[in-house]
């Protein structure tokens, strides 16, 4: 796995670890989790274990049409503004695409359909009395 993809995939685990540390740290009284659309989803009081489950659920939640449109618009703007980071941005978008509404996903590639199917060779034309793969004795 390329290092960049490793970092992106593992950043979700790091976020969960940080949330757990913050929820259990004596200097933090509460952690609020905010959904993609900006709505507060959960306020975790000191010592609560709900945050990791809520993060996993939000990560797997499909995008709404509005969220997907906002994500793709931000992705386009960042690709234009940060050309050196296009590969990373595209990898992030690749992780988000399966959660996008079907009409916003890239078209699926179907099976190839040749215009003319190959015809079988007529029997007898290429029958050799000795196989070219047999050993000479």
Both 43 and 85 in one domain: the answer is no
Residues 56 and 69 in one domain: no
pLDDT at 17: 81
Compute how many other C-beta atoms are within 10 angstroms of the C-beta atom of residue 48.
16
Res. 3 pLDDT band, cuts 50 70 90: very low
Distance (Å, whole) CA 42 – CA 50: 8
Extract the tokens encoding 14: 């790091």
The pLDDT value recorded for residue 32 is 84
Residues 36 and 70 in one domain: no
Range of the domain at 42: 1-61
- Residues 54, 93 share a domain: no
Examine the domain organization and report whether 2 and 25 are in the same domain: yes
Distance CA 73, CA 77 (A): 6
What is the separation of C-alpha 97 from the centre of its chain, rounded to a whole number of angstroms? 6
Looking at residue 78, its pLDDT comes to 95
Question: Based on the structure, what is the number of domains in the chain?
Answer: 2
User: Rounded to two decimals, what is the model's pTM?
Assistant: 0.59
> Higher pLDDT residue, 61 or 121?
61
pLDDT tens-digit map of 7-43? 555 666 777 788 778 777 888 888 888 888 888 888 8
Say if residue 7 is in the same domain as residue 18. yes
97 in any annotated domain = yes
Q: Residue 122: its pLDDT value, please?
A: 64
Mean pLDDT of the chain: 78
Q: How far is CA 22 from CA 1, 6, 9, 13, 53, in A?
A: 30, 24, 21, 14, 15
């Amino acid at each position: 796995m390329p290092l960049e993809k490793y970092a992106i995939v593992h950043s979700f685990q790091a976020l969960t670890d940080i949330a757990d540390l913050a929820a259990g740290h004596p200097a933090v009284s509460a952690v609020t989790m905010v959904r993609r659309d900006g709505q507060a989803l959960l306020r975790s009081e000191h010592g609560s274990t709900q945050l990791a489950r809520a993060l996993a659920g939000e990560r797997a939640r499909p995008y709404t049409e509005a969220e997907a449109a906002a994500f793709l618009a931000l992705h386009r703007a960042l690709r234009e503004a940060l050309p050196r980071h296009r590969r990373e941005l595209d990898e992030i978008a690749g992780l988000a695409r399966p959660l996008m509404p079907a009409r916003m996903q890239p078209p699926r590639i179907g099976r190839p359909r040749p215009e003319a199917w190959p015809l079988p060779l007529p029997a007898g034309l290429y029958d050799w009395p000795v196989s070219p793969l047999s050993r000479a004795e």
